[in-house]
């Protein structure tokens, strides 16, 4: 089995790959590195590692630790989609069925509704540039992913890990193969408030657009090691959040994520 890694190790490895690519080939190399998925795969590995540390048997995790395949391709109400990280249900086997509703009518679901609903699915994403410009589209996509699965499988436990930089990389400097950061403060408060609005779904009979638990990774890549913000006090002290703000990162922190997901799952299905 591959080694377990921490979220700090994952974020530092992400930073190293991005910044090495900038120094070697500028902005085009950086974009190619992001498209390769190599940086974000470190975050995938940290998620899997934390599940294993929390008592999940490695054989229930897809893709397995240290691997990027196989992913489970689960069917929701609108589409079938490969999931980033899944915990397969204990004691349940996939049972192929033909879908009978919606636009997937007559499509084959290779896992079946019961197996799917008892699977924990965790989406993992990052947005490293144009945070304000692309927000609406990315947020709508995040909500749609939860709705797709929850409409068909209301009790399904879903997680979302979303990483953004608190300072973006300077696009002008990247053209000269230089790593530099934009000093203006980004959309930190807006992201916190928006993800607060879809975090936590104690009642599975409603709010299908929400996730059972969201982790918003706010990272200052200018620092070495990279700084992960988990408390409001740290955000206040860094000037990233106004002291009078009602936005709260603590319920979205990495430290809360895995335990909250698993507790929610155990309440609905047992172990």
Cβ atoms 150, 156 nearer than 8 A: yes
Mean predicted confidence (pLDDT) in 62-81? 97
207 vs 4: CA distance, rounded Å:
34
What Å distances lie between residue 83 and 63, 86, 145, 205, CA to CA? 9, 7, 10, 23
What Å distances lie between residue 76 and 61, 104, 257, 265, CA to CA? 20, 9, 23, 19
Q: What is the model's pLDDT at position 185?
A: 64
Q: Burial-class residue 120 by CB neighbours within 10 Å (0-12, 13-18, 19+).
A: buried
> Sorting pLDDT into bands at 50, 70 and 90, what band is 270?
confident
Q: What is the model's pLDDT at position 132?
A: 79
- The token duo for 228 is 């992960």
- Residue showing tokens 């990272």: 219
DSSP class of residue 206?
A: S
Per residue in 169-205, pLDDT tens? 999 999 999 999 997 666 899 999 999 999 999 999 9
Q: Is the pLDDT of residue 155 over 90?
A: yes
Average pLDDT of the residues of the chain: 95
Which overall architecture, per CATH, does domain 7-269 show? 3-Layer(aba) Sandwich (3.40)
Mean predicted confidence (pLDDT) in 60-73? 98
70 vs 84: CA distance, rounded Å:
10
Q: What is the model's pLDDT at position 134?
A: 79
46 vs 42: CA distance, rounded Å:
6
Cβ atoms 248, 197 nearer than 8 A: no
21 vs 108: CA distance, rounded Å:
41
Mean predicted confidence (pLDDT) in 94-108? 91
Q: Give the distance, in angstroms, between the CA of residue 48 and the centroid of all CA atoms in the same chain.
A: 12
Q: Is the pLDDT of residue 271 over 80?
A: no
Query: What is the pTM assigned to this prediction?
Result: 0.96
206 vs 98: CA distance, rounded Å:
26
Q: What is the model's pLDDT at position 96?
A: 96
Percent of the chain predicted with pLDDT > 70: 99
Mean predicted confidence (pLDDT) in 151-167? 97
Range with the lowest mean pLDDT among 30-34, 64-68, 180-184, 216-220?
A: 180-184
Return left, alpha or beta for 28; rule: phi > 0 is left, psi -120 to 50 is alpha, else beta. Answer: alpha
Q: What is the model's pLDDT at position 39?
A: 98
- The token duo for 208 is 């299908």
- The token duo for 246 is 């009602």
Percent of the chain predicted with pLDDT > 90: 89
Q: Give the distance, in angstroms, between the CA of residue 69 and the centroid of all CA atoms in the same chain.
A: 17
247 vs 229: CA distance, rounded Å:
13
> Sorting pLDDT into bands at 50, 70 and 90, what band is 131?
confident
> What are the sequence ranges of the domains in the chain?
7-269
């Amino acid at each position: 089995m591959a080694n377990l890694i921490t979220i700090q190790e994952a974020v530092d490895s992400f930073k190293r790959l991005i910044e090495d690519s900038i120094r070697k080939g500028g902005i085009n190399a950086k974009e190619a590195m992001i498209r390769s998925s190599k940086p974000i795969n470190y975050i995938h590995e940290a998620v899997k590692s934390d599940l294993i540390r929390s008592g999940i048997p490695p054989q229930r995790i897809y893709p397995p630790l240290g691997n990027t395949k196989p992913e489970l391709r689960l069917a929701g109400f609108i589409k079938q989609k490969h999931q980033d990280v899944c915990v397969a249900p204990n004691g349940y086997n996939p049972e192929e069925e033909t879908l009978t509703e919606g636009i997937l009518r007559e499509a084959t679901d290779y896992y079946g509704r019961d197996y799917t609903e008892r699977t924990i699915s965790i989406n993992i994403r990052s947005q490293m540039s144009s945070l304000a410009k692309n927000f609406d589209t990315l947020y709508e996509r995040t909500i749609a992913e939860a709705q797709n699965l929850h409409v068909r499988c209301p009790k399904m436990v879903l997680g979302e890990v979303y990483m953004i930089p608190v300072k973006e990389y300077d696009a002008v400097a990247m053209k000269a193969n230089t790593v530099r950061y934009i000093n203006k403060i980004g959309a930190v408060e807006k992201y916190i408030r928006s993800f607060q609005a879809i975090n936590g779904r104690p009642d599975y009979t409603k709010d299908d657009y929400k996730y059972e638990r969201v982790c918003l990774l706010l990272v200052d890549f200018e620092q070495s090691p990279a700084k992960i913000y988990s408390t409001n006090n740290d955000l206040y002290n860094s000037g990233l959040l106004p002291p009078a703000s009602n936005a709260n990162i603590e319920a979205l922190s990495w430290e809360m994520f895995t335990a909250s997901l698993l507790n929610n799952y155990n309440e609905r299905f047992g172990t």
